[in-house]
Structures are given as C-alpha cells and as structure tokens.
Structure 1
C-alpha cells in the first residue's frame, strides 16, 4: 500500500461518516478507483475506520458509533467533496454504475471547469471536475 508522508505539507483529509464502512470501501474503490491504505477493525470483524486515497487525495471512512449518534440526522453536513480528475465523464459513469445518484449532469461552465454532481449511496455529494 502507498504511504503518505506525515507533516510534509498542508492538505485536507475529510472524514466521511456512515453506518457500515465495508460497503463504502467497496463503493469508493469501484466508483473513484480509490485505494485502501489501512483499516482498523473490531474483534467482530467490522471495519471501524479506513484510510483511503483517490490519486494523492486522502480521506477517511468512519463508522457511526453511539458517540456519533448526531450523524444519523440527515443532512449531517452541507459539504460537497470536489474531486479533480483527468476524465470526469468516465469517473461520473463509474460512480453511477457503482450505485451513485446523478444530481447534475457533466457540463462545461464559463468559469473554465467541466463539472457534474453525484450523490454516493451514503449521502455524500461529490462534484467531479476538470479544469478546461
């Protein structure tokens, strides 16, 4: 697995909360070609936390536990995850084929981006985009 060097530069690493991390691991691998770096599992075999990358962008998946009960209230955030990719059309199709829901089709905008929005099966909105 790829290793991310600690403390070398400033970057964001969003944490996505969901009831079942294993389902999300499979979706993000299929939808966005995400790579699992590592995981933390419980004695029962469930995955509590997973660390993943899409290209050089790292993010974490976190199981909702009793202390995170407030995350069960939808919507739990108004954040859109912007993902720049060399082929947003292909990535959009992969996300839809993997079970995502189309929010806005891919299109070119006058501010110089090609963008489209997909909602993943866990309630997170992704803007797939490319600078044109």
Structure 2
C-alpha cells in the first residue's frame, strides 16, 4: 500500500518549480491536461516519499486552499535542517505561520504556508 497526497493548486507548473527549489523535490512525471500544455498532474519525489500537484478544476471538485478558504490538511516533512528548509521556502514566497523553534515535545519544528495555501509542518531534531 502507498499513500501519495495530491495538492490542488491554481498553477501546477509554478507550484512544481516552488517545490523543486524550496524542498529539493524531483519532478518525475508530468501529464498534460489539454492542448494548452497545462499539466493535469505533476508527480514529485522527495527522498522515499512522493506527492502530486494538479490544477484546481471546480467542475471536478478539485479545489485549492484559496477556493476553500484555507488548507484542510497539514503536510509534515522531516528534514535534517528545518531552519534551512524553512528559509528556502520563505525565500521562494512562503510565509511563516508558526516559527521554527525547539518544541517541548522534543523536535525542532514550525509551520509554513506555501504560496499556494498549503500548510507544511517543517520538523527535525533539536538544535
């Protein structure tokens, strides 16, 4: 069994570029939606995990966080250096929701909203 989240975004190509630049994701597959060249799906890999981005299409009930008034899901990514990943995300247009700090539960973590409205918990070992 395998679980791979699909993130619905207004612009899959822009989102793909963000995830590649900010998170080091590798684009492994891209399927066009129609004649305009816009992708229906773009698959990515980060380490041993994968996720997909697809365009918001209201007639399919594929709604982005902005269509819903916010993100209904938290995506958690464990990394060696949460501060560096958080800074790369911010440099590429994300915003801090909860600062990355050492937490009482034994992790260094914080929450970042990417430019497409998805919420990410960036976590790693204490510093």
The equivalent residue for 2:40 is 48
Partner of 2:111: 117
- Does structure 1 conserve the Cα–Cα contact (< 8 Å) formed by 2:113 and 2:119? yes
Looking at structure 2, the residues matched to 20 and 120 of structure 1 have their Cα atoms a distance apart, in angstroms, of 13
C-alpha displacement of 1:110: 1.5
Further displaced range: 67-76 or 29-38: 67-76
The residue number in structure 1 matching 2:86 is 92
Change over 3 Å in CA distance of 1:76–1:70 after alignment to 2: farther
Paired residues in the alignment total 123
Unaligned runs of 5+ in 1: 1-9
Per-residue CA deviations over 1:5-38 (Å, capped at 9, x if unaligned) read xxxxx44211100121011011111110111010
- 1:107 & 1:97 partners in 2: Cα distance? 18
SS in structure 2 of the partner of residue 86 of structure 1: coil
The answer to whether 1:14 aligns with 2:5 is yes
Aligned Cα root-mean-square deviation (Å) = 1.6
- Quote the Cα distance in structure 1 between the aligned partners of 2:70 and 2:114: 14
- The unaligned stretches of length 5 or more in structure 2 are none
SS at match of 1:28: helix
| Partner of residue 24 from structure 1, selected from 15, 25, 33 | 15
Q: Deviations over 1:44-91 (max 9, x none)?
A: 211111000122110010112242346153236421100000111100
**TM-score, length-normalised on structure 2?**
0.88
Greater mean alpha carbon deviation, residues 63-72 or residues 83-92: 63-72
